[in-house]
Amino acid sequence: MRHFLLKSEPEVFSWAMQQRAGVEPWTGVRNAQAAAVLRAMAVGDRAFFYHSNTGREVVGIVEVVRAAYPDPTAEDGRWACVDVRALEALPRPVTLAAIKAEPRLAGIPLLRQSRLSCMALSPEHWEVICAMGGLAA
């Protein structure tokens, strides 16, 4: 199992909406690097659900339940999406400020490539964020 981080603007699609939806396609990614990350995801992989812009915090964990397929919201067919389902909320949201302040997360893609909406995480980064959020990795 690999680990990722998926960013969503809560005004567009929030963690609460993901929880209500159950399984939901992660659509609308229109960046080649982020789309490559989606294509690399496999069923069973886990991702943090991160509220971007408003909140700027990791709020939950989702699981990939369908591997990459053509994004139905893309007219040209060159973009991908995956289906994810909510697994659990973090007992304590992990803010961007807290991530920046944690030396063990200095190399996390969220800090190096802040505009990227989908990114892979190392097992070490996953464990640190889980612990910060009150979960056992």
Residue of 73, 52, 69 whose CA lies nearest to 119: 52
Query: Is the distance from CB of 47 to CB of 70 less than 8 angstroms?
Result: no
Give residue-wise pLDDT tens across range 67-78: 999 999 999 889
Share above pLDDT 90 across residues of the chain, in percent, rounded to a whole number = 91
The Cβ-side half-sphere exposure at 51, using a 13 Å CA radius, reads 20
Per-residue model confidence as pLDDT tens digits over 79-134:
999 999 999 999 999 999 999 999 999 999 999 888 889 999 999 999 999 999 99
pLDDT band (50, 70, 90) for residue 137: low
Of 78, 56, 66, 76, residue with least CA distance to 23:
66
- Can you list the domains of the chain with their CATH numbers? 3-132 (3.10.590.10)
pLDDT at 114: 81
User: Binning pLDDT at 50, 70 and 90, where does residue 136 land?
Assistant: confident
Write down the pTM of the prediction: 0.95
